[in-house]
Amino acid sequence: MTSYIIDILLDTKEWQTFDCKRARIKPAKILETICAFVNTDGGTIVIGLEDPRKASRDKRLIGIDEASDNTSEILHLLTTEFNPPIKHNISTQEIDIINTNGEQDRILLIKVQKGEDICSLKNGDTFVRNGEHNHKIGASEITRLRYEKGQLKYEDELINGITIDDLDVDLLSQYQTHNNSLQLDKWQFLKDNGLAARTRSKWTINKSAVILFGKNPTVLLKSKTGIKISHYYGTTRNYSGKPNFVRRPFSIEGPAIHQIEQTIAYFRDIVKNSPPKLTGAYFLPSLLIPEWAFQEAITNAVVHRNYFNEDDIQVRFFDDHIEVESPGTYPGFITPNNIRRERFARNPVIQRTLNRFATAPNLDIGEGVDRIFQVMKENNLYEPVYFPTSKKPNTVLLVLSNLQRINYWDTVSNYLDGNYRIGNRDVREITGIADSTKVTRMLRVWIKQGLIEKVDAGYKGNIYYKKPNADLSFFTRLSYASGSAYEEQ
């Protein structure tokens, strides 16, 4: 197992969530990377491993003994140089190696989890990760990051000049009825539900009230807060020649619950009007994705998007998949790797209010994303794919596949969950398929669906496949728990 992990580390290029450095590096540079990882998507740093651009593969295992005092200083600074402290975001492991001089040595793994709070160095500098580089950010970018993390709540901000007349009063009365509060004064009801405030004898509506009940939030907030629907023939967008639209793209605006309902209505219309297709000996609907999975995806986008980002939610229909792209990165400490088991509400008032409608589109019991996975699997469809921000910056992109699974996918998917990467030979071994050409065709289908990505390690003949959201730090923790030769610090 140790040898296998080292091979993966050697084959991984520096990128959004991975960095490697000689032990003699200035500790300040490591601190900058850790700060950037906490503020972005988390990641893994390997100390004692040379940059792949500076040495051949067999010359990169330098080890930490060349500067053991420096390594000790780095470990000490992890507990003293960050504001706020990030001890709970950091874990370290050492791996025994034979270094390039043929001597017993070690490399140090520093595994960094994405943080709920913004991390800064004690000197006040704040960094984020962009590709393989760390970027120092200033005041305006820190403010944007605070909205992304959910430290600043756009939904709570008061907005002057908006009155009850700017709201959909019928919808508000309906909501009051659903909550047995129709007898309450509307201003008092809004205040009691976190939708307004009273200051100096003046009532003021906040932005969440506008998003939930405004006649047209896009106009009232002077920002894009709707859902943009694009429907395409085929499986990809045509960027040259005539656009391959089924119909002209259109926007859905208005109160949040109406946006969700109208988007689901369009989904139902596609199901109703699309002719069935002959698949094997059976006629199957053209759109196989269950309505519940689509509804949950749209509701999550409306509830958890970053409204500070001035853009619409993008919903794109293709023959073989649906894309739901919401503005803003994953909130708080959420990542594509933990989204099924963790919860973080960037807009808790919006989430709570939608859930209290009698016809609530969300259950708000923390199982929505996991149920999307379960429902897709129950319908023999491929698992949903949440793409990391390194693939799609400043957005959360979810892809729902409209294809029935090839029988071998579960075997390959389970292997990847436990082994991080796979090659053509590995697929043949675990599936029993003897034909490498057939395996290549299967891999191409899964790449096209976004289920896996092809990785060129940069060395001749060293090509492998992994899931787009595969987390190297999670895999090394899993390997350690399974009995690898790591020593937890």
C-alpha span between 10 and 4 (Å, rounded):
10
DSSP code, position 331: -
Domain segments of the chain: what residues? 2-137, 154-218, 227-401, 414-481
Q: Please give the pLDDT value at position 3.
A: 87
Work out the mean pLDDT of the chain and round it to a whole number. 91
Tell me which architecture the domain covering 414-481 has in CATH: Orthogonal Bundle (1.10)
Asked if 160 and 200 count as a contact pair (C-beta separation under 8 A), the reply is no
443-486 per-position pLDDT tens digit: 999 999 999 999 987 766 678 999 998 888 767 665 544 433 32
Q: Is the pLDDT of residue 280 over 70?
A: no
Q: Is the pLDDT of residue 489 over 80?
A: no
Asked if 387 and 336 count as a contact pair (C-beta separation under 8 A), the reply is yes
Q: What DSSP string runs through 431-470? A: H----HHHHHHHHHHHHHTTS-EEEE-SSTT-EEEE-TT-
CA distances from 249 to 145, 189, 252 (A): 31, 38, 10
Of 418, 334, 387, 414, the residue nearest 8 (C-alpha): 418
334-384 per-position pLDDT tens digit: 999 899 989 999 999 999 999 999 988 876 555 789 999 999 999 999 999
Q: What is the mean pLDDT of residues 8-35?
A: 94
Largest CA distance in the chain: 81
Lowest mean pLDDT among 98-112, 226-240, 418-432, 446-460: 446-460
Q: Please give the pLDDT value at position 284.
A: 63
Q: Please give the pLDDT value at position 50.
A: 96
Q: How many Cα neighbours within 13 Å face the side chain of 32?
A: 16
Q: Please give the pLDDT value at position 363.
A: 62
Q: Is the pLDDT of residue 409 over 70?
A: yes
Residue position matching structure tokens 């009850």 = 164
> What is the pLDDT confidence band of residue 390, given thresholds at 50, 70 and 90?
confident
% of the chain beyond a pLDDT of 90: 81
* Residue 262 burial class via C-beta count within 10 angstroms: exposed 0-12, middle 13-18, buried 19 and up: middle
C-alpha span between 294 and 272 (Å, rounded):
15
Q: Please give the pLDDT value at position 488.
A: 33
| Token output for 470 | 């595969």
Please say whether the structural domain 227-401 has been given the CATH code 3.30.565.60. Answer: yes
Q: Please give the pLDDT value at position 479.
A: 57
289-318 per-position pLDDT tens digit: 999 999 999 999 999 999 999 999 999 999
What lies within 8 Å, CB to CB, of 315 at 6+ separation is 227, 228, 229, 230, 263, 298, 322, 323, 324, 325
Q: Is the pLDDT of residue 388 over 80?
A: yes
Q: Please give the pLDDT value at position 365.
A: 53
Q: Is the pLDDT of residue 281 over 80?
A: no
Q: Is the pLDDT of residue 218 over 80?
A: yes
Lowest mean pLDDT among 186-195, 234-243, 297-306: 234-243
Q: What is the mean pLDDT of residues 84-96?
A: 93
Q: Is the pLDDT of residue 438 over 60?
A: yes
Domain spanning 2-137 has what CATH number? Answer: 3.30.950.30
C-alpha span between 339 and 326 (Å, rounded):
15
